[in-house]
A and B are shown apart, each in its own frame.
Chain A
């Protein structure tokens, strides 16, 4: 059997690796982006000079041949689903028995005037990085449109090369449609502290052409005109499926898949950013363009193709990011606005760069989520507490189990308990401090 995977990002590559682990099918991964798999999340580090492209490849180049995973460099223009083959822009078509679509995302463009000019780019692919590199020479200012995770990455990239950056953020505070208010304000402060020109409640109106098809300035909705030699479009992403329209494949915003990640067509699956769940799991979005979910889908689809029907279940929500110098981790529910039945315990360090938030059920008391800024918590422990619906008071007393900060770092678990005691008048005390041995025995309970 020949399994063809379209896309060599984390989803497609995880699928290929697990297919190889589980069986002996012929596997071909098709991509026109790069010859070998690299970590998309590390693109920023190449630009900033932390790493070279080579360093972002999680596997050495010999890995693919050794594991009999064929890599085919081709740009697919369309897919003949009835004839079961992929039609590339040039060269021979590629036949498949089973097809996995892992085509990823493309940057959003909301019909702004000038959005297709040169010097206007998102940051998603290796080619985007090359464009950023090319236009950085002599660049006097960059404007970034959109305040999500990619926007702040792009800002950090330019900032690392001392290129002035203006960031237009539609929201009142950075990413406050996801982050709770306090954390959102913390990041906004931090962005300003770095000398980045952060403009909140501000949107792009149009991008100006310098007469040679290149962006030279922008105007905001409030009427400000900003000269710039680069416009970064980072207002989110959408499934990269434009070449699949008008086909037999059922598509909404993304490629529709069932819980086994199968599309409406037999032998065709979709995973990662481009897949849209027909019936999203409770509390989850139908499209989640996230590294971790892509990886889980890749693994799940491999099981399904190997005749081992497995429902996609990403488990308890988790994510992480880094906003300039502030690390961010989230486990479980940490919504930007508290629902009625949710209570929260929020502590912030006096330096304003670290915080812990624990959400719990107002009436039943079980812990629901953790939101960490500048502090590391242990995934397995948080997940177990949430999954087992442990009462927040037990969690607080054992909070040391979750601490994943390096040795000698200050521990803030006591602060959380103090806060809770103040709030409730109780007299809880910390029982478990940081330490792996206790964690390991806790995980076995």
Chain B
């Protein structure tokens, strides 16, 4: 290991330790000013209740205790506001009563505002010691790569306890554990409404039956891509850390208020206000894409395609996903991400979003039309010309993270036929779910009735947001990088990828061509395919590759030691060349294309 790598890694680890410990370094004092929750009735009631239980103006060391006390106070306040007539001047009971959904918002805001310990008093210092130090460490770690002789450098990946993946057993346990955990939490999330968790279990059961039993995968034995006798323990710990991060970010943000506080200085710089949890997330996301993007460029700097593509995802993340929405926010416009397309952007057709856009004047209406045009014209048109890569590995934020932070884990995708079967059922299942959910929500929007053909569209969309939007895209999508590869969400879950994939499979010029008979079946292409495509299967037969899932990252072509694969945009002979065996070289007159 290079001295700079050691130094960089040490700094990064120190930063991560401080970052993690910072969660417990603050103490909390509820004051009148930290109770500024925007509604004076609520504020008054919560203040009264917290005074009653002795929380007001009393510093609390433990965050858990503070949150417990605060929740108690809010519930007391809620009871106070629950009955009786509305006071004069109040028209809507929503302005007066304290609803369950309001409580979640208030807790986060109050906890953040009540922090008055080490972290809250030294935001700037902590920003430098955590995020700043991690950036420095990361860059130092990456720096020596620029000094290496350019070329494919995958040395010792499978010797690394971070990147070598899991045994089948370990992987199965983690998947089942995650599914069970998500469903149990979902039950809580849906306030005990068990219908949707049950429906989800039924769907999982059907897919399991179709793949495992009906198509005979039970007989197939251990899939080739599973690691036989090693487990990446550092990878597992990293995965668990990431999963923990997402669980807290999405569902329990009141526990990570110091992190949000740390982001305050940057937020104030960019939009003049304190950070929200989504600002924190966007900031971290962008920094990670940028730093790890530099790593990707260093690693593949001999390959122009990779350099340009990586620069593209770095640009779209920084500008389109992060800065433009922030600037729009400052200008009091909807914080619109111009490159986020339905159905990945599943809330695009939600009533509040449509209403907000329509009520924001010309720009808002433009955003609405833009979003719709992307779905019905942009996706098919660009995908026809360039394949789904134009989005998935050049523009998309999820793809951007996968191609930068996720690059060290791309070899962990499962290449077995079985995994492909699961993939097709699951991803198209999610697409159907997204379309049905959006259909119900839109019907409700136009009829004004939340019940549509016996379904409560609010429940459906809440469950979609929980199960697909948060659990699948976030927790599994990123948390499983070191466990099952960097494209778990893109491959198995993303409904937009499914849509792009259908266009790519049936009506696109994009394909990967195979260079005659030069393939030596070494398997580098398959190993480093993040989408789990068994590229070698095609390459060794001389067949051009057209697969719905291919995101066109171009790594298969980059790692090929014999120059066999090339990404192309041309439709000629695509039917013939993707179906016939072509790596045949027995005498010209005797060439028989064999079925």
Q: Is B159 an interface residue (CB 8 A)?
A: yes
Known A50-B155, A54-B224; contact A380-B516, beta-carbon cutoff 8 A: yes
Encoded as 1 (CB less than 8 Å from any B CB) or 0, chain A from 3 to 22 comes to 00000001000000010011
Q: Is A24 an interface residue (CB 8 A)?
A: no
The reply to whether B157 and A50 contact each other, CB–CB distance below 8 Å, is: yes
In the complex, A436→B595 CA distance in Å?
A: 25
Q: CB within 8 A of B586: which of A22, A61, A296?
A: A296
The reply to whether A49 and B224 contact each other, CB–CB distance below 8 Å, is: no
The reply to whether B521 and A58 contact each other, CB–CB distance below 8 Å, is: yes
The reply to whether B221 and A62 contact each other, CB–CB distance below 8 Å, is: yes
In the complex, A410→B307 CA distance in Å?
A: 13
The reply to whether A10 and B521 contact each other, CB–CB distance below 8 Å, is: yes
The reply to whether B155 and A406 contact each other, CB–CB distance below 8 Å, is: no
Q: Is B226 an interface residue (CB 8 A)?
A: yes
The reply to whether B157 and A61 contact each other, CB–CB distance below 8 Å, is: no
The reply to whether B587 and A311 contact each other, CB–CB distance below 8 Å, is: yes
**A residues in contact with B554, CB < 8 Å:** 406-407
Of residues B219, B411, B566, which shows the largest number of chain A Cβ atoms within 10 Å of its Cβ? B566
B520 to chain A, nearest CB (A): 4
Closest Cβ neighbor of A320 among chain B residues: B562
Binding site for A on B (CB under 8 A): 149-152, 154-160, 164, 219-228, 302-305, 308, 411, 416-417, 513, 515-518, 520-524, 526-527, 536-537, 540, 554, 557-558, 561-563, 566-570, 572-573, 583-588, 590, 594-595
Known A296-B586, A406-B304, A406-B566; contact A61-B158, beta-carbon cutoff 8 A: no
The reply to whether B523 and A329 contact each other, CB–CB distance below 8 Å, is: no
B279 to chain A, nearest CB (A): 35
5 A-B pairs (CB sep. < 8 Å): A18-B594, A22-B594, A56-B522, A318-B518, A325-B150
The reply to whether A313 and B586 contact each other, CB–CB distance below 8 Å, is: yes
B interface secondary structure, majority:
loop
Q: Is A291 an interface residue (CB 8 A)?
A: yes
**B residues in contact with A39, CB < 8 Å:** 520-523
User: Tally of A-B residue pairs with Cβ under 8 A?
Assistant: 185
Q: CB within 8 A of A310: which of B156, B518, B521, B586?
A: B586
The reply to whether B219 and A440 contact each other, CB–CB distance below 8 Å, is: no
The stretch that binds B, out of A25-33, A40-48, A102-110, A389-397, is A40-48
The reply to whether A49 and B563 contact each other, CB–CB distance below 8 Å, is: no
Known A51-B523, A60-B220, A327-B562; contact A379-B516, beta-carbon cutoff 8 A: yes
The reply to whether A299 and B584 contact each other, CB–CB distance below 8 Å, is: yes
In the complex, A31→B27 CA distance in Å?
A: 69
The reply to whether A409 and B587 contact each other, CB–CB distance below 8 Å, is: no
Q: Is A57 an interface residue (CB 8 A)?
A: yes
In the complex, A405→B561 CA distance in Å?
A: 13
Count of chain A residues near B, Cβ 8 A: 64
**A residues in contact with B164, CB < 8 Å:** 52
Of residues A54, A296, A310, which shows the largest number of chain B Cβ atoms within 10 Å of its Cβ? A54
**B residues in contact with A124, CB < 8 Å:** none
Encoded as 1 (CB less than 8 Å from any B CB) or 0, chain A from 139 to 156 comes to 000000000000000000
**B residues in contact with A85, CB < 8 Å:** none
The reply to whether A52 and B228 contact each other, CB–CB distance below 8 Å, is: yes
Known A48-B155, A310-B586; contact A54-B220, beta-carbon cutoff 8 A: no
Known A49-B158, A50-B154; contact A300-B586, beta-carbon cutoff 8 A: yes
Q: Is A441 an interface residue (CB 8 A)?
A: yes
Q: Is A247 an interface residue (CB 8 A)?
A: no
Encoded as 1 (CB less than 8 Å from any B CB) or 0, chain A from 283 to 326 comes to 00000000110011001100100000011111100101110110
The reply to whether A408 and B308 contact each other, CB–CB distance below 8 Å, is: yes
In the complex, A300→B521 CA distance in Å?
A: 19
B103 to chain A, nearest CB (A): 50
The reply to whether B518 and A436 contact each other, CB–CB distance below 8 Å, is: no
Closest Cβ neighbor of A440 among chain B residues: B572
In the complex, A322→B563 CA distance in Å?
A: 9
The reply to whether A48 and B151 contact each other, CB–CB distance below 8 Å, is: no
The reply to whether B521 and A61 contact each other, CB–CB distance below 8 Å, is: no
The reply to whether B158 and A51 contact each other, CB–CB distance below 8 Å, is: yes
The reply to whether B587 and A315 contact each other, CB–CB distance below 8 Å, is: yes
Q: Is A346 an interface residue (CB 8 A)?
A: no
**A residues in contact with B540, CB < 8 Å:** 58
A298 to chain B, nearest CB (A): 10
**B residues in contact with A436, CB < 8 Å:** 513, 568-570, 572
B481 to chain A, nearest CB (A): 19
The 3 closest A-B pairs by CB, nearest first: A379-B516, A325-B151, A313-B587
Of residues B221, B302, B585, which shows the largest number of chain A Cβ atoms within 10 Å of its Cβ? B585
The reply to whether A61 and B524 contact each other, CB–CB distance below 8 Å, is: no
**A residues in contact with B416, CB < 8 Å:** 60
A170 to chain B, nearest CB (A): 25
Q: Within residues 384 to 436 of chain A, which ones have a CB less than 8 A from any CB in chain B?
A: 404-410, 435-436
In the complex, A194→B302 CA distance in Å?
A: 16
In the complex, A305→B583 CA distance in Å?
A: 20
Q: CB within 8 A of B523: which of A56, A312, A321, A407?
A: A56
Q: CB within 8 A of B304: which of A55, A56, A408?
A: A408
**B residues in contact with A377, CB < 8 Å:** 563
Q: Is A246 an interface residue (CB 8 A)?
A: no
In the complex, A51→B223 CA distance in Å?
A: 15
